[in-house]
Structure 1
Amino acid sequence: MKWQATEMDTYLKEKEYVDTALITLTPISWEKDVKQTVAMGEFISIIALEVEKQFHGRVIQFPEFSYLKKEDRTSRIDRMKSWEEELKAGGIKHLIYLTSDSDWKIVEDELGGMLVWLPTLPLEHMDSEYKRDVVKDQMKQLIPIMTNKWRE
């Protein structure tokens, strides 16, 4: 389910089945590596949309967690902990973070959910059919990871 009012009507009726928050971790930088940073966010947003489609009814795709690349890691993690507390208090059992920013791998153990890091693939010059194939290939790898997490 997406972060939309119409989707929340469904959620409120079926909330016992919706137990997973999907959150993209999206960096922002306007000083250096702007294009690469934007590509990270664009790529991971496309993947998140596809995950939401695949697991509609089990997953809620929350708004992105955006942060400045130069933001202190401790500050980022503190803000993330606030999100985690809010979501878990509201009944979310599983948190899945999607990112293309490898900085999160360093602090992965400090997160209260599963981090999935995918390297950014340059989609901007691909035709739409090839983009779909690339996303489909990523999903083939991601689906088993998520279903295994739910079995734990």
Structure 2
Amino acid sequence: MFPLWDRKDRASMASGLEVRVPYADHRIVQYVFNTPWEYKNHDGVVKGLLRDAAKDWLPEDVLARKKSPYPKTHNPAYELIVKQRLAAVLSDSDEPIHQLIDKAAAAQLLGEKSDYGKPWFGQLMAGPQLMAYLLQINFWLKKYEIVIKL
């Protein structure tokens, strides 16, 4: 995984971009997806499981600091694109995201007026970012042919 970070740093910084590399190993994703919420958020600490896993390697000030997400995109063209793409996904009942979301809430999200000050789940994430997040999850489910057993 470290060569991926190194390559990402060289490629992105050459273009003046800040990029984050996700945990790319599917076994990590499977493990964390199936881990009970109480472990992931124990004592009300966001990313508690990850922080516990890294406690022997990171200083306390790094372990205890608050999450710092990327700034939001406030571009109306971006919002229009993600809204159109999410509407298309929601109109196709074969899209895998339908197994995970409340369709009425998703439809309401599409109909809401932009509110960039409204956080979602403790993030600095508003409507357009949430829509993009749902599109990313849908893409991931399709690409890796994830089967959800409810």
Q: TM-score range by the shorter chain?
A: under 0.3
After TM superposition, the score normalised by the length of structure 1 is 0.27
- Greater helix content: 2
After TM superposition, the score normalised by the length of structure 2 is 0.27
- Greater strand content: 1
Which fold has the larger relative contact order, with Cα–Cα distance below 8 Å and residues 6 or more apart in sequence? 1
Task: Kindly name which structure, 1 or 2, has the bigger radius of gyration based on alpha carbons.
Answer: 2
